[in-house]
Amino acid sequence: MKIDTIDLGEHPVLLAPMEDVTDLPFRLLCKQFGADMVYTEFVSSDALIREVNKTMQKLKIAEEERPVAIQIYGRDTESMVEAAKMVEAAKPDILDLNFGCPVKKVAGKGGGAGMLQNIPKMLEITAAVVKAVNIPVTVKTRLGWSDDNKPIVTLAEQLQDCGIKALTIHGRTRAQMYTGQADWTLIGKVKENPRITIPIIGNGDITTPERAKECFDKYGVDGIMVGRASFGRPWIFKEIKHYLNTGTALPDPGIEWKLNVLKQETLDSIERLDERRGIIHIRRHLANSPIFKSIPDFKRTRIEMLRAETVDELFTILDTVPSKINNQADII
């Protein structure tokens, strides 16, 4: 799959942009495990042009993570164009436009998935941004606003006509938020449309290597994007790539290896922020890791992780996990 001149190879697996998740250390970790392209946390165009420090920090990228996309969102054409120029100056490989975020503070104000209620404005912004910058522009959106409003097949053509170089589609409506199952049927119909010439990337509920392969095989997408399944499991990219290349599951590296990865993720977070803020930032991601779900007192352990305030406290909790899993296996 190629996005403009950027060759991501066959069956690329991408890390989805996620607020408070895809910071630089996490992106580098996912890249290490095989992610073919990574996306920053989404960036508010309004905050960017006001040069809000926290927002400006999101523009920092590293050479080791390339190719990398910076994603912006907003509802005003002028501010999106100005923000796009600022993003271009940060020298990412791709600029992505967020027309898919469903959360109320974004979509409720007309940004993100809120644009699905104002298609003409979405197209106006897209065309203006494409014209304003010299780097490839892509879009990420959803099937539509609600179950009775799913314009994605037509919308994909319209966005392509605006000059975007790739389109990522999350297989849910805004009304669904992240509930229910992602519907890949319409994603497949977009890909089948003979008028579509840009790469189509599918997103939603890719939680296993087997499902990743099925999405490529059944719906014909050019690439797939992994989001929430990477929480506390950045090695999922390695698992998926291995399965796509060999048709076999990657041997389980064991609980100790996985815990060491999560500990390194924690230390990276602390180095970027400080101990207090780093722990607060990372503990929710660790608590959602699937490796803990096989222990008998998972709920209590999860609560303990969410309450941890120091690295020693958090690592002490993590160090108890192998014995709990082994004890459970002995009982079974």
- Which pTM was predicted? 0.92
The per-residue pLDDT for 285 is: 82
Which three-class secondary structure state does DSSP give residue 53? Answer: helix
pLDDT tens digits, 75-103: 999 999 999 999 999 999 999 999 999 99
Rounded distance, CA 100 to CA 173, Å? 9
pLDDT greater than 90 at residue 286: no
DSSP secondary structure of 61-130: --GGG-SEEEEEE-S-HHHHHHHHHHHHHT--SEEEEEE----HHHHTTTSGGGGGG-HHHHHHHHHHHH
> What one-letter code names the amino acid at 192?
E
Task: At 50, list the tokens.
Answer: 């006001």
Question: What percent of the chain lies above the pLDDT cut of 90?
Answer: 77
The per-residue pLDDT for 243 is: 98
pLDDT greater than 60 at residue 332: no
pLDDT tens digits, 179-201: 989 999 999 999 999 999 999 99
Give a three-class secondary structure readout of 190-219: HHHCCCCCCCEEEECCCCCHHHHHHHHHHH
The per-residue pLDDT for 330 is: 41
Confidence of residue 138 (pLDDT cuts 50, 70, 90): very high
Question: What percent of the chain lies above the pLDDT cut of 70?
Answer: 97
The per-residue pLDDT for 326 is: 63
Task: At 174, list the tokens.
Answer: 């805004």
Rounded distance, CA 207 to CA 121, Å? 34
Show which residues are catalytic. Answer: 101
